[in-house]
Structure 1
Amino acid sequence: MTSAAGRLTFSNDISRDLELLEYGLDPSLDTPLLPNAAVMNALQNLVRLATQLCGAPFGVVNIISAGHQHQIGAWGVNPGVCSREDSMCAKVFLSREKTVVPDASRDPRFADSPFVTGEIGRVRFYASVPLETESGFVPGTLCVFSETAQELNPAQVDMLEVLARQVVELLELQHRTAQLDRAYVELEESNARLAGFAGRVSHDLRSPLTTMLGYLELLQDDPKINAVPGAAEDLDMIGASGRRMLAMLEDVLTYSRVGGRVQPENVSLQAAADEAMWDLGIADQNIVEVQELTVYADRVQLRALLQNLLSNAMNYRSDHRGLQIRISGVSNYHGSTVLVADNGKGIAPEDRSKVLEPLVRLHRDGDGPGTGLGLATCSTIAKAHGGDLMLSETPGGGTTVAVSFPAA
């Protein structure tokens, strides 16, 4: 029959292994837990520094799971795995106190350890500092040791504690990296589900809507219907509403698809702008000036972004001056920033964050048609590339949209 203490220990062991998984370390493996390469190299350098400061030939960072001790950083020895029962650090690390033992063979806590008796090693001097996170979790220790007895002075003990805190910082970095990796995977899965759902809904709605518009066109061509007073105007109104709904479905589908997995490459801003202008039928209207720039971006999504921004500029043009749009950019070692500036109505500062939300429109007099997804789509494209989108006022009036694209 399992005792209450046994059940508590088992529960704590499960909790410890789950906590280690949160740090990207899989304790179910009987091989050394492996941090990512950058963290591993930094850990090795810290352990090396610890051995030099303490005058000891060997040092390790130990992670202690429910059943094992895993050496994830080492100097002077090859990292390995042993049972938790054999571990010297496992006997003291949960005390949250530093341990300095001049001769482990004379200490009752360690005298029968296989690392002391010669079965695994002949450790004499041993010093360890628990690795305690801000949450109070202690994943293991930083320890140094040698096969000869020795002492540490207070300054050396202090430095060992400082280095232990640096090890904790590295483990927290791995923790945050693991959390970001999981969040990214979940986001990709969510985007895929959203795109699939939007595709199905769009298809299910587009089919009957397209059929309805087809029958509507037949009615509009019927002379008997047109002979009825007001019928033609009513049919035109129904047709306009149906086409707006169809356009909204297309916009929703496009919005659901962007921002997922991008395939960046070096893209000519001039070429992407030319394609967007051709799609909108404004290639020959001399209203757009484009500065050549190489942008590291997904070609299709950059074209979609420019198409949305050009469409917005046309929809919200000023009543007092002819439309002019300038597409330019700047580039440095950080990446590129694409600027699309128009001389239209502009967007008031208090409305700039609002219009980046999906399906938000300002409903101003004289505004062109739209679904409120254009700028939201552009913002999503920017974020998918690891960049951002910012709105500001064009000198002289209008809106300037700045979209950043990080370097490769």
Structure 2
Amino acid sequence: MNDGRERDRAIAVYGVLHDPPRRELDSLVQLAAQVAGVPFAAVNLLGSEVQHQVATTGFAGADSPVEDSMCRLVVEGGTPIMVEDAGRDVRFARNPWTTGEVAHVRYYGSHPLTTPSGVTIGTLCVFDDRPHEVSEEAAHGLAQLAYRVVDVLELELASRRLAEADARLSTSNERLANFAGQVSHDLKNPLTSISLSLETLELDVEAPDQLDTLARARRGVDRMTALIANLLEFAQQGRAPGDDVVDLAAELSSALDDLTGRLPRECVSAGVLPLVRGDAAQLRAVLMNLLDNAVKFTEPGAVPEVEVDSVPVDGHHRVEVRDRGRGVPEDMRERVFAPLARLDKRVEGSGIGLATCRRIIEAHGGRLGVEARDGGGSVFWFELPRAGA
């Protein structure tokens, strides 16, 4: 038997008691009446004390005491009931819905509405003020429509939760960006003062050991400035990107232009890259980051060998940047995408680049990861939805 308080909690989750009737529920009760060949139908939700008629056809719905509900037997028993004449049925003969106190129900059919968690919260009910023969077709149709009622409630619940999660995420991203912007401003001002002071000292210092000390200090300031810029960029990514057509081949060419001096074009072989939808500048930043990583993790003295190519995968374009560097240990392949993660302290960097790349790709509806390359090295890949997919 369902506990009334458990039903109260389950009904409250769906948020249907105080809102206007759902158009989809109205359509389902109308269809239920047609299938049964009767003028009246309702979606009844039974709390611990009240029966709520949240959608009706043929009459105006109203709340009523649960002890008067004909559908209480269906909810408590968890099985459908179909009767030709409720006035002649011992279970309903004295019920106010059959005696005329509320209505003159004769033909009565009711199917339970059971949530995915197993709580029966109400019924889809059809009735008439005249007796009818109970048909197998009507019983089957009522059952199918009852399942659809629960589907509608679940779909609206999922949609509401998704909207709430999206609102929380948008607020979180906005707060993160604002916080990072404020921190960036607060840190850049003293760093600028330190940098100017070091420049002034360099003009007055001649001793080699002191100049070397100042140079180290200047490099520390530069690293901190770059780290702040990277953190700010990381915080500002993850918002909804643009929806332009982006030619990844053109963005790869631009990225290689920007990397001139670090990665010669002759070290990069490129296959055919696709057109995708999104933000060109953000996706170019992803390509540049992955290419720059390939250079940084090439063994000292070795010439970088980088391949960039794409393959279709399940409605997505998969773009791969393959290198012959040191590779990423299997147990570290997720950690490399965490903010400030630096697995090899000998390699320059802030540990923000790959985390930013992941935020960008996920904001585009895709995924980013890394795996081992046959013969040594790594394959950094990202998947983006195909245009129109």
Measured against the shorter chain, the TM-score band is 0.7 to 0.9
What aligned pairs does 1:18-97 form with structure 2 within 5 A after superposition?
Answer: 20=11, 22-23=13-14, 25-29=15-19, 31-34=20-23, 40=24, 44=27, 48=31, 52=35, 59-62=41-44, 68-71=52-55, 77=57, 82-85=61-64, 92=72, 94-97=75-78
Partner AA of 2:187 in structure 1: L
Partner AA of 1:111 in structure 2: T
Q: Deviations over 1:101-146 (max 9, x none)?
A: 42356633212568735xxxxx531211221224454443222334
Question: Which region of structure 1 is more displaced relative to structure 2, 328-337 or 390-399?
Answer: 328-337
What aligned pairs does 1:68-217 form with structure 2 within 5 A after superposition?
Answer: 68-71=52-55, 77=57, 82-85=61-64, 92=72, 94-97=75-78, 98-104=80-86, 107-109=93-95, 110-111=97-98, 116-117=103-104, 124-135=106-117, 137-152=119-134, 157=139, 160-161=142-143, 164-217=146-199
Aligned to 1:391: 370
Matched, 1:255 2:255: no
Aligned to 2:251: 272
Question: Which residue of the other structure, out of 240, 247, 268, is the alignment partner of 1:288?
Answer: 268
Question: Which residue of the other structure, out of 285, 300, 306, is the alignment partner of 2:287?
Answer: 306
Q: Which runs of 5+ in 1 are unaligned?
A: 1-8, 35-39, 118-122
Shift of the 241–21 alpha-carbon distance from structure 1 to 2, 3 Å rule, reads farther
Q: How big is the alpha-carbon RMSD for the aligned residues of Structure 1 and Structure 2? A: 3.6
Q: Deviations over 1:222-258 (max 9, x none)?
A: 2xx223x510111111111111111111111111111
Asked whether the 8 Å contact 2:33–2:40 carries over to 1, the reply is no
Aligned to 1:337: 318
Shift of the 46–285 alpha-carbon distance from structure 1 to 2, 3 Å rule, reads farther
Asked whether the 8 Å contact 2:44–2:52 carries over to 1, the reply is no
Partner AA of 1:171 in structure 2: L
Aligned to 1:243: 222
Partner AA of 1:339 in structure 2: E
Q: Deviations over 1:357-404 (max 9, x none)?
A: 11111126xx43111112111122222222211211233322111111
Q: Percent identity?
A: 31
Query: Tell me, what secondary structure is at the counterpart of 2:239?
Result: coil
Query: Tell me, what secondary structure is at the counterpart of 2:94?
Result: coil
Distance, in Å, in 2 between the alignment partners of 1:125 and 1:56 is: 8
Aligned length: 372
Partner AA of 1:201 in structure 2: V
Distance, in Å, in 1 between the alignment partners of 2:282 and 2:100 is: 62
Query: How far did residue 46 of structure 1 move?
Result: 9.6
Matched, 1:317 2:306: no
Distance, in Å, in 2 between the alignment partners of 1:200 and 1:346 is: 37
Asked whether the 8 Å contact 1:270–1:292 carries over to 2, the reply is yes
Shift of the 49–19 alpha-carbon distance from structure 1 to 2, 3 Å rule, reads closer
Aligned to 1:6: none
Partner AA of 2:268 in structure 1: V
Question: Which region of structure 1 is more displaced relative to structure 2, 332-341 or 386-395?
Answer: 332-341
Q: Which runs of 5+ in 2 are unaligned?
A: none
Distance, in Å, in 1 between the alignment partners of 2:287 and 2:12 is: 43
Query: Tell me, what secondary structure is at the counterpart of 1:329?
Result: strand
Report the TM-score, using the length of structure 2 for normalisation.
0.81
Question: Which region of structure 1 is more displaced relative to structure 2, 133-142 or 58-67?
Answer: 58-67
Q: Deviations over 1:58-88 (max 9, x none)?
A: 65544568785222xx8xx58x862213999
Shift of the 313–161 alpha-carbon distance from structure 1 to 2, 3 Å rule, reads same
Asked whether the 8 Å contact 2:29–2:42 carries over to 1, the reply is no
Distance, in Å, in 1 between the alignment partners of 2:39 and 2:262 is: 72
Partner AA of 2:113 in structure 1: L
Matched, 1:226 2:206: yes
Query: How far did residue 284 of structure 1 move?
Result: 8.4
Distance, in Å, in 2 between the alignment partners of 1:351 and 1:273 is: 27
Distance, in Å, in 1 between the alignment partners of 2:283 and 2:220 is: 30
Shift of the 252–374 alpha-carbon distance from structure 1 to 2, 3 Å rule, reads same
Distance, in Å, in 1 between the alignment partners of 2:376 and 2:116 is: 51
Question: Which region of structure 1 is more displaced relative to structure 2, 305-314 or 322-331?
Answer: 322-331
Question: Which region of structure 1 is more displaced relative to structure 2, 169-178 or 278-287?
Answer: 278-287
